Structure 1
């Protein structure tokens, strides 16, 4: 009898608890999720504003028009928010008091890429996402035909530039030319720094820093058109032809090239004149003979020698000019 009484007692207790639980669940599912019961948290370290709390609340209302807890599909709502281009991750859950919590982490752009006439952002994971119409995030601008497998290395380069005070002061953009070489655009002057590929970035930036500290600080920034550090253990500079001080340097260079080409033409003229000199020598010997005879030939032959002497002089003057 005692055992039967205990079993009956346990069954009655379970039925009562089940009734109370079903009643509480009905009461809980019937609760409405008001605005004060929705908590939205943005967990990114760098503040970005591609989406705000108002946008998330509107999504919650669209996914749950009745506003009741029982009608809310949490997995579907979480998937909807994760599918937003600017969202990196989202976690949605309910408390026992009926409060809806949404922990959202937005994507933080590392650089803005202009590729084939289109602009979009790229985060630290190398994921593309579109530009917002209402918010523009300040970040490095990159132009050119950058491949997706280069996004990761390019993001690392931009991160190094942002963390280094010297690089952050000088470099304001990155471009990729038709040859596939990367160039760092500078804030001072109109020159660019050619780095080639994205390997050995620390070494290349260090080389440019050394060039700036030991040489460029004593020069005008507008003097150069390009400074190349892509070659190992050397820096190659290209002068800006529109800079006034470079005009005299370039003119001297052109004159030196002209001087080196002039002696070649003179040597050719000397070789052309030398056989005629031999003919004049022969004529001089022939002139000595008529002096003994004293004929009229003595007067005609010197005239011929004079004509032959005058003609090569005129030709030589024309060629030299």
Structure 2
């Protein structure tokens, strides 16, 4: 009887040990999320130094270092961790029914180059200052002056107009705000300054005026004819030497 009891205890101990080992293996394998994280870039261009592998590794490390695997995943915290990179505008994290984590990354994109005290920095469309990178598009407008003192909306409206119009985008290289002249754009050709004034309007009529004067400079005269033209008024170009 005692022998049977000993055998029973041994078998029970053996079975429990096997179950414990299997549970440990199961927990360890469940901590490996490397095959269940998919990173997708929403923008066409990633100006950041961060890679998809970096984001995936960050997510896996976040998942594996939770206090308890039984706890719900703090999606909001993971999104905040990914968005700490200055060129990442936001990250959206979703878990599907198959246990796959999808991470969608939205990047900030340089919109203007800002010149201040002989140094260049970059701002996105929301006015967020971005770190300087060597591969940023060098055709971005150079902007200067006191533009962020309640004047950003008007300035960005001018920038959008220049970028969206082939002629302006080709000839205009800079935009700045002057306390006396208001908004002024500067040409790549002839270094001609064009005064838009305190309340700038850059409609098709004004664009036609700029185009007409540039044709006059390039075909009928020379770049020294004017240093600045004032187009604040309808159907009137004032040449200033």
Band of TM-score, shorter chain: 0.7 to 0.9
Q: Output the CA distance in 2 between the equivalents of 1:62 and 1:90.
A: 17
Q: Output the CA distance in 1 between the equivalents of 2:134 and 2:169.
A: 27
Q: Output the CA distance in 1 between the equivalents of 2:150 and 2:54.
A: 33
1:147 equivalenced with 2:145 (yes/no):
no
1:136/1:148 Cα in 2 relative to 1: closer, same or farther (>3 Å)?
farther
Structure 1 or 2: more helix by fraction: 1
**1:75 — aligned with what?**
76
**1:112 — aligned with what?**
113
1:179/1:28 Cα in 2 relative to 1: closer, same or farther (>3 Å)?
farther
Q: CA deviation at 1:56?
A: 1.8
Higher Rg? 1
Structure 1 residue runs of 5 or longer lacking an equivalent are 1-22, 240-321
**1:47 — aligned with what?**
45
Q: What is the TM-score with the length of structure 1 in the denominator? A: 0.56
Aligned residues: 212
Secondary structure at the residue paired with 1:205? helix
**1:127 — aligned with what?**
127
Q: Output the CA distance in 1 between the equivalents of 2:188 and 2:164.
A: 17
1:238/1:141 Cα in 2 relative to 1: closer, same or farther (>3 Å)?
same
**1:266 — aligned with what?**
none
Secondary structure at the residue paired with 2:213? helix
Secondary structure at the residue paired with 1:183? strand
Structure 1 or 2: more strand by fraction: 2
Q: Would the aligned equivalents of 1:120 and 1:129 in 2 still touch at CA under 8 Å?
A: yes
Secondary structure at the residue paired with 1:155? helix
**Bigger CA drift: 149-158 or 168-177?**
149-158
Matches for 1:88-237 after TM superposition, within 5 Å? 88-115=89-116, 119-124=120-125, 126-133=126-133, 135-138=135-138, 139-179=140-180, 181-202=182-203, 203-214=205-216, 216-237=218-239
- 1:205-235 Cα deviation digits (max 9, x unpaired): 3321222235653211243322221244321
Secondary structure at the residue paired with 2:200? coil
Q: Output the CA distance in 2 between the equivalents of 1:53 and 1:83.
A: 15
Q: Would the aligned equivalents of 2:183 and 2:200 in 1 still touch at CA under 8 Å?
A: no
Q: CA deviation at 1:103?
A: 0.4
1:52/1:131 Cα in 2 relative to 1: closer, same or farther (>3 Å)?
same
1:205/1:88 Cα in 2 relative to 1: closer, same or farther (>3 Å)?
same
1:235/1:134 Cα in 2 relative to 1: closer, same or farther (>3 Å)?
closer
Q: Output the CA distance in 2 between the equivalents of 1:102 and 1:140.
A: 33
Q: Would the aligned equivalents of 1:175 and 1:184 in 2 still touch at CA under 8 Å?
A: yes
Q: What is the TM-score with the length of structure 2 in the denominator? A: 0.72
Q: CA deviation at 1:143?
A: 1.1
1:54/1:29 Cα in 2 relative to 1: closer, same or farther (>3 Å)?
closer
**2:30 — aligned with what?**
30
Structure 2 residue runs of 5 or longer lacking an equivalent are 1-22
- 1:79-132 Cα deviation digits (max 9, x unpaired): 2223443222221022333322110111222212234666443333x3313224
